[in-house]
Chains A and B, each alone.
Chain A
Amino acid sequence: DAGVIQSPRHEVTEMGQEVTLRCKPISGHDYLFWYRQTMMRGLELLIYFNNNVPIDDSGMPEDRFSAKMPNASFSTLKIQPSEPRDSAVYFCASINQLGLWGRDTQYFGPGTRLTVL
């Protein structure tokens, strides 16, 4: 299995521009998570989906952030407009609900390093 795939790996953009991050979860996994990692705040959960439906978006920082999962194999995280404080590494993770103890480990992608100038 190729694991969780994220693109792009690096993104540099200017303040005010729209940014779209992409994620392909592991095939057969029915949960998908978006995280943000910064030195200041560590690893934070932004939103997660179950069977393509958003379950908890309480971690989404503000309306400039939106996430979609149009099908089981693809999700996007969009920032519009982007700001310098959005600079971070964004991770996508997925799991199969039917894991050991009913809660399987989350498998993380390699991340997208976003720099907003």
Chain B
Amino acid sequence: GESVGLHLPTLSVQEGDNSIINCAYSNSASDYFIWYKQESGKGPQFIIDIRSNMDKRQGQRVTVLLNKTVKHLSLQIAATQPGDSAVYFCAENNDTGFQKLVFGTGTRLLVSP
């Protein structure tokens, strides 16, 4: 029979809407966080990062918010475009692992024209 695969949560939005993708991280010692975007058939692509001494960081059309109290990370995309359709991963890192990133399971973003 078929194996049960990892079910990705999906966020469906209309073009022009703002999107918010959430991520719960696991390690309270993690002090560096990254959001990656992965389009179909491609490798993950860096979007934005944030250190634990910050609550918010902004890029072009994207904002990352960090709530260390509840170990929660979010990615906000303003004026979402069809080209934003992809799977988005958060990743965490701590000094112990230095460059060792631990990736979340991902969220699929679908943008309708």
Contacts and interface: CB of A to CB of B under 8 A. Distances in A.
Interface residues of B, number: 27
Given A48-B99, A103-B93, A111 B42 contact: yes
B32 A106 contact: no
A5 B105 CA distance: 25
B6 A56 contact: no
B89 interface: yes
Nearest to B99: A31
Contact of B99 (A40, A95, A109): A95
Interface in B30-76: 32, 34, 36, 41-46, 49, 51
Contacts, number: 57
Contacts of A56: 97, 100
A42 B105 contact: yes
Contact of A109 (B34, B43, B49): B43
| Interface size range of chain A in the complex | 20 to 34
Given A108-B43, A110-B42, A101 B101 contact: no
A45 B6 CA distance: 17
Interface of B: 3-6, 32, 34, 36, 41-46, 49, 51, 89, 93, 97-106
